[in-house]
């Protein structure tokens, strides 16, 4: 099923494998981009001469550090922190922080690599980075979370700055965590430097629509993609995996545009409601009470809860994986297509395995890769940076119009680029090529740095 790489791209790929042993997700993310680039290197032979590919696969800087903190019992705990500053050809490093026990260097590298192209696709002046820790926020008290965030920032602050590197949230990091980190940054530097972090609270420099942006953006992209095939989100039955920030605001926008979400999930199980999920109840459970999604079926008798259930086995028109990497396999892709699914938009980063992606592309359903479909989050982060720089605060409607516009442009760019390079309808190629070209041209212009 794997696409073959031409000889020179294969050499680049083998080099990435041997220089980054054991980092499977990073290899996967690199391979997916390389698979799209054959025709680009034919058209732009100078990129070979400048060794753009070899350079783009090697992070500009990787920081790994110890994060010591004390739990509520007074016990000393040690975690590992990461920041991979991957590429700054287009602007300061930009990308989220992930706190999850599964995080290791390979996770951050794959996310940072994807972020380069995603950020380029937004058309905003931002480079690519990612960071995080193997810290597990589950079952931690608010004080423990605060102490961890402060310790994390105590090391990280020296590597950040509004013109240097601007982190935000990702899995396990929301406004609360950004607040604790911003407070510590401010204390250590004696600067109220709003533009150093995005995803801030509305009272202290945050931007409207940032919370909603990744989910809303994914649905805007999906709708554009469906429109180009003569249909739309309206009346579609949808599956949304996950129940975090991305999933919640994906469901909200689907609902606003007339779609119906019948299932969502967390790492323990799936909830299903044929009549459509009650979004207010999900928000109450996940945003206010911060408990497991199984609680939904306790309070809404109509719904069914499937512990360890597989969400992709439920028949749907549209699937939006919004949980985590590699959550949708080749087998799941086959099941979805067999059950009549016509479109998939990735709200999470790399949620579909390469077998799954190839299956969707071969089946010719509308498939939106994460680096295009979920770019609304980071694009709105760039809008937050703009507002911080001009000490301004835009209203919700204006900001949402901007986001909708950006997603439309990203869709157009991916759509047209796929066509230009001979694979119409293939948004994977469109996104990889359009993102790569922007970064590669800037790198070539900036000389050997």
- Which residues are the active-site residues? 130
Kindly tell me which residue out of 349, 388, 399, 432 binds ligand GLU, with binding defined by CB under 6 A: 349
Kindly tell me which residue out of 59, 81, 92, 95 binds ligand GLU, with binding defined by CB under 6 A: 95
Q: Contact between 96 and ligand GLU (CB under 6 A)?
A: yes
- Read off the tokens for 353: 């395995």
Strands, E assignment, 213-301: 237-241, 260-266, 269-272
Q: 137 or 377, CB closer to ligand GLU?
A: 377
- Choose one: 3-11, 78-86, 90-98, 358-366; the region binding ligand GLU (CB under 6 A): 90-98
Q: 27 or 94, CB closer to ligand GLU?
A: 94
Minimum CB distance to ligand GLU, residue 19 (Å): 24
Instruction: Give the span between the Cα atoms of 20 and 33, in whole angstroms.
Output: 17
Minimum CB distance to ligand GLU, residue 169 (Å): 6
Instruction: Give the span between the Cα atoms of 146 and 354, in whole angstroms.
Output: 38
Instruction: Give the span between the Cα atoms of 410 and 359, in whole angstroms.
Output: 24
Minimum CB distance to ligand GLU, residue 86 (Å): 13
Instruction: Give the span between the Cα atoms of 343 and 323, in whole angstroms.
Output: 17
Any idea which residue has 């949708």 for tokens?
A: 328
In the DSSP assignment, the letter for residue 284 is I
Kindly tell me which residue out of 198, 237, 324, 399 binds ligand GLU, with binding defined by CB under 6 A: 198
* Cβ burial, residue 363 (10 Å; 0-12/13-18/19+): middle
Nearest residue (beta carbon) to ligand GLU: 96
Kindly tell me which residue out of 128, 132, 377, 435 binds ligand GLU, with binding defined by CB under 6 A: 377
Interaction mask 156-185, ligand GLU, x per CB under 6 A: ------------x-x---------------
Q: Contact between 371 and ligand GLU (CB under 6 A)?
A: no
Q: 333 or 378, CB closer to ligand GLU?
A: 378
What is the SS3 assignment for 96? strand
Run of H or E including 95: strand 93-99
Q: 300 or 326, CB closer to ligand GLU?
A: 326
Q: Contact between 224 and ligand GLU (CB under 6 A)?
A: no
Alpha-carbon torsion 201, 205, 208, 211, what sign? negative
In the DSSP assignment, the letter for residue 421 is T
Q: Contact between 94 and ligand GLU (CB under 6 A)?
A: yes
Interaction mask 199-218, ligand GLU, x per CB under 6 A: --------------------
- Count Cβ neighbours within 10 Å for each residue of 174-192 and write b for 16 or more, e otherwise: bbebbbbbbebbbeeeeee
Best CA proximity match to 18, nearest among 30, 1, 6, 7: 30
Q: 168 or 248, CB closer to ligand GLU?
A: 168
Q: Contact between 378 and ligand GLU (CB under 6 A)?
A: yes
The binding site for ligand GLU (CB under 6 A) comprises 94-96, 168, 170, 198, 349, 377-378, 381
């Amino acid at each position: 099923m794997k696409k073959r790489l031409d000889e020179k791209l294969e050499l680049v790929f083998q080099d990435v494998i041997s220089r980054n042993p054991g980092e499977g997700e990073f290899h996967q993310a690199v391979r997916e981009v390389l698979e799209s680039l054959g025709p680009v290197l034919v058209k732009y032979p100078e990129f070979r001469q400048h060794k753009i590919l070899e350079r783009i696969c090697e992070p500009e800087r990787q920081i790994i550090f110890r994060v010591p903190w004390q739990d509520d019992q007074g016990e000393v705990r040690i975690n590992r922190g990461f920041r991979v500053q991957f590429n700054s050809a287009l602007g300061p490093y930009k990308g989220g922080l992930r706190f999850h026990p599964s995080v290791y260097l390979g996770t951050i590298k794959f996310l940072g690599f994807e972020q380069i192209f995603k950020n380029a696709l937004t058309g905003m002046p931002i480079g690519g980075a990612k960071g995080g820790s193997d810290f597990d926020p589950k079952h931690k008290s608010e004080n423990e979370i605060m102490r961890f965030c402060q310790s994390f920032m105590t090391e990280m602050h020296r590597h950040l700055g509004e013109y240097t590197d601007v982190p935000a949230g990702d899995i396990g990091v929301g406004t609360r965590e950004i607040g604790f980190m911003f407070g510590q940054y401010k204390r250590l530097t004696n600067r109220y430097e709003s533009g150093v972090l995005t995803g801030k609270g509305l009272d202290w420099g945050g931007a409207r629509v940032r919370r909603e942006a990744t989910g809303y953006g994914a649905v805007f992209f999906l709708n554009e993609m469906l429109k180009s095939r003569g249909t739309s989100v309206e009346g579609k039955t949808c599956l949304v995996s996950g129940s975090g920030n991305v999933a919640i605001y994906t469901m909200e926008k689907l609902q606003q545009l007339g779609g119906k979400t019948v299932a969502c999930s967390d790492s323990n199980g799936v909830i299903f409601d044929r009549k459509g999920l009650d979004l207010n109840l999900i928000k109450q459970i996940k945003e206010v009470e911060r408990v497991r999604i199984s609680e939904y079926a306790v309070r809404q008798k109509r719904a069914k809860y499937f512990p360890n259930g597989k969400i992709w086995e439920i028949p749907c028109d549209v699937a939006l994986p919004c949980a985590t990497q590699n959550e949708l396999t080749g087998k799941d892709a086959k099941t979805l297509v067999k059950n009549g699914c016509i479109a998939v938009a990735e709200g999470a980063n790399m949620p579909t395995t390469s077998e799954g992606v190839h299956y969707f592309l071969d089946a010719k359903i509308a498939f939106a890769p994460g680096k295009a479909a979920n770019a609304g989050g980071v694009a709105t982060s760039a809008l937050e940076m703009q507002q911080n720089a001009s000490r301004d605060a835009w209203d919700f409607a204006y900001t949402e119009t901007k986001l909708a516009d950006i997603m439309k442009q990203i869709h157009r760019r991916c759509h047209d680029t796929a066509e230009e390079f001979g694979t119409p309808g293939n948004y994977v190629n469109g996104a990889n090529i359009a993102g790569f070209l922007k970064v590669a041209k800037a790198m070539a212009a900036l000389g050997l740095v």
